[in-house]
Structure 1
Amino acid sequence: MRGGDERHTALVSKIDMHVKGIGRVGALDAGLICTLKSVSLLVRKLISTEGEAFKVCVVDEFENACLESNAPGNILLKLVKTHIPNDSRFNALYKFEPYIEMAVNHITESGLYQIPLSRRIEMPVSDARSLMAHLNECVDKIRQEVKSEKFLSTLNSYQRSSNKNYKELTGYVDTLFGRYSRLLVLRVDLSYSKENSKTTQAVAKRDRERLFGNARSNKLFDDMVGYIWKLEHGPEKGFHYHMMFFFDGSKVREDITLAKRIGEYWAGIVTKGRGLYFNCNVGKLAYKSCGIGMVDHTDAQLRKGLRNAVVYLSKTDLYMKLQTEGRGMGKGLCPSPKGPRGRPRAAISIKGCMA
């Protein structure tokens, strides 16, 4: 056990190193994604219920009453009590999945976020009946809207787009393995320093295009055979990229060093000192399902981890989408097939980066 503890300590020490140019971009807000997933499931559960959500229960001879909630009422109370970002700045950047957006809109328009809802609050019968009608009306509106052609069309479009991204990215990785027996996979998050965290989306896009444009003549990328990028935005980080680079594993090794050099290139050359990077490969052993580093096409476990890593890049789109100027996600061109004798061909052209 001691040897394992020492390795863990050494790993943590590596991850915690603070070197000029290294930022802490790391993961997406997993807590928010889990919250949105929960809300989406609650809304779907609510629309499958029937009957009134609330009824009035008289509690004494003075005609005081309180509300009693049925199954749909319990779900509505959970939705109201769940904290979901709902400010103008967030809404200008992100669009919620249709179920979430529709429910939040109805709850907001009904003023339920401002009403102290509790089944224990006693009030005059007339007030209880009025509040009961108001809450039941909100539930009815949610049930009715999900049946509308407009909502169904919006939902279909949203889900089709999310599924398309997932299939494209996983298919792209499978195609790379069909061409190369081993891939050196790098995960590097590229961002901006605190002083430059308000960098605009247009400037971030320009920097990304410069990174791939300059790579055509940079030996650092000679053996790169593919890549995936995803634009994200955080309240403190501002706009930043989650990048996945694929190199021909028969020609290069040392994934940590290579990822570090790419990060330094972004921070020092591409952004002229405005950028930061986070080298995810440094802490790859800490991942429960590791899919980065050297991955052989026959290694089912590592390939499953890699697939999970790719899904991770696109999973926010299941519940909220960044409103981007152009594409918010892209990948390289698919590689050409092997020659007739199986001899590997040159790495794919990086002119295929998606704008």
Structure 2
Amino acid sequence: MYEDSYYHNPMQDDMLAVIESMETDSLLVDAEGHSTLADNDMGWRVDLIEVDKRLRGLMDTGHLLADHRLIQPVGFNSDQVTLAPDGILETLISAYAVLVWQFQLSEIGQHYQPSPYARRFLQAFSSSAYLHQAAFQQPPVMGSQDAEATLLELNQRLDAWYRSMNEPSFRYELRRNQRNSDKNYQRFWMLFNALQANHSRLQIVRVDCEYTQEDSPNITYDTACHHRERLFQQVRSHYPALVGYLWKLEWGPKTGFHYHCIFFFDGHQVRKDVTLGEQIGMLWARQITGAQGRYFNCNRGAAQRYKHNALGECNYHDINKRKGLDCLARYLTKVDEHIVMTTPGRTFQTSKAPAVPEGPRPGPPRQFPVSWSVGDVDFP
């Protein structure tokens, strides 16, 4: 997980594989200080992500149902027919079952929003009598003429779904997550630049906070938010050297809700970043979650683990650390459209950026301006 996490792009079509690759089966520490493993399936969110993947794949093909292949008699010399198994038809039935149940028949729809693909699927197919019976009962048996009419109707709905995704409103919705990612990225650098303007040396600590294998299926979004709020309250209270922070909420099939947390400390007041990471991690695992939590201290072995290490001591003129921070920022600020789809609230936040001091600063002059470039990386 953590060696490659800087370079994942959570906007890829194969989002589920990316989410699963963000999990780890080692080095997570529980409240007793033991390494733990994760192996969980989180039910409806997994179904939702899988359906979204299949809808994207179907959209890429643009194919319609083939009449001559699908209409099959139920028996020898029978005048009754059914629609035979077919990849496109199976996608329509499974998508209908998951999306109609979650967004129209259950309480999930009161708190969560379908993706742009799923929303337009519901607009095109939610009133389909055939899909309703096939999804919630069994595929119907019918006469040949009814079967031909059913296929015609399904293809008309499918064509309408394809055409709806060429509309400007659909493209606008798809670009919304990119716009939010850009805003998050600017907020990241606004905070960091302001912190460096006030503190020439920072200690940067990253702790990934999640839940145990036994407890993660039962942790709701509200519970995760409550624990995160308590964690940051405690860190602010116990560590006066804390000068800033940010967090990103993610959800994975094996770990459920979990946070990537970055803490910025005044580097002139504290030095042992690995120890700070352990203390914060144990605070999460024991006190905040009541032994329901576990954590990964990303600072431990960071110099060997990450190609561009952003963690630990970062001086004002440390170009390599700043390059590592840019890699980290591009990952942490990317909006994961599936966590947005399955989460009713905020998924990324930074602390308030301090005011940048005016006039000459005390101490020796700084060697580099706040903005510079390294190779092909331009820093804000």
Q: CA deviation at 1:260?
A: 0.9
1:226 aligned residue: 244
Correspondent of 1:303 among 301, 325, 328: 325
CA distance in 2, matches of 1:248, 1:37: 44
1:15 aligned residue: 27
Contact 2:221 2:257 survives alignment (8 Å)? yes
One-letter amino acid of the counterpart of residue 280, structure 2: I
Question: Which aligned pairs between 1:86-125 and structure 2 lie closer than 5 A?
Answer: 87=102, 88=106, 94-103=112-121, 106-107=124-125, 109-110=127-128, 112=131
Q: CA deviation at 1:242?
A: 2.9
One-letter amino acid of the counterpart of residue 187, structure 2: E
1:141 aligned residue: 160
One-letter amino acid of the counterpart of residue 231, structure 2: L
Q: CA deviation at 1:276?
A: 1.7
Q: C-alpha offsets along residues 233-272 of structure 1, whole Å, 9 cap, x if unaligned?
A: 566755543322122345433332211101122333334x
CA distance in 2, matches of 1:38, 1:179: 45
CA distance in 2, matches of 1:34, 1:290: 32
Structure 2 unmatched runs, 5+? 1-23, 72-76, 136-141, 364-380
Q: CA deviation at 1:165?
A: 3.8
Contact 1:179 1:337 survives alignment (8 Å)? yes
- What SS is found at the alignment partner of 1:186? strand
Correspondent of 2:284 among 240, 246, 266: 266
Contact 1:185 1:246 survives alignment (8 Å)? yes
State the TM-score, normalized to the length of structure 2.
Answer: 0.59
Q: CA deviation at 1:334?
A: 0.5
One-letter amino acid of the counterpart of residue 311, structure 1: T
Question: Which aligned pairs between 1:304-323 and structure 2 lie closer than 5 A?
Answer: 304-311=326-333, 314-316=335-337, 320-323=341-344
- C-alpha spacing 1:302/1:97, structure 2 compared with 1 (3 Å): same
CA distance in 1, matches of 2:37, 2:347: 17
- What SS is found at the alignment partner of 2:218? coil
1:208 has 2:219 as partner: no
CA distance in 2, matches of 1:201, 1:54: 39
1:277 aligned residue: 294
One-letter amino acid of the counterpart of residue 324, structure 2: L
- C-alpha spacing 1:214/1:159, structure 2 compared with 1 (3 Å): same
Percent of residue pairs bearing the same amino acid type: 27
Contact 1:227 1:246 survives alignment (8 Å)? yes
Q: C-alpha offsets along residues 263-293 of structure 1, whole Å, 9 cap, x if unaligned?
A: 122333334x344231241364445665434
State the TM-score, normalized to the length of structure 1.
Answer: 0.62
Contact 2:115 2:337 survives alignment (8 Å)? no
CA distance in 2, matches of 1:240, 1:180: 30
Question: Which aligned pairs between 1:175-186 and structure 2 lie closer than 5 A?
Answer: 175-177=194-196, 179-186=198-205
- What SS is found at the alignment partner of 2:113? strand
Contact 1:92 1:323 survives alignment (8 Å)? no
Question: Which aligned pairs between 1:50-69 and structure 2 lie closer than 5 A?
Answer: 53-57=64-68
Contact 1:263 1:277 survives alignment (8 Å)? yes
Contact 2:177 2:337 survives alignment (8 Å)? no
Larger CA deviation: 205-214 vs 157-166:
157-166
Contact 1:185 1:245 survives alignment (8 Å)? yes
1:9 aligned residue: none
Contact 2:65 2:89 survives alignment (8 Å)? no
Q: CA deviation at 1:192?
A: 4.4
One-letter amino acid of the counterpart of residue 225, structure 1: V
Larger CA deviation: 96-105 vs 223-232:
96-105
Q: C-alpha offsets along residues 87-142 of structure 1, whole Å, 9 cap, x if unaligned?
A: 447656643322233226645654559759xxxxxx98646633431331222331
One-letter amino acid of the counterpart of residue 230, structure 2: R
Larger CA deviation: 286-295 vs 82-91:
82-91
Q: CA deviation at 1:217?
A: 3.5
Structure 1 unmatched runs, 5+? 1-11, 68-72, 117-122, 345-355
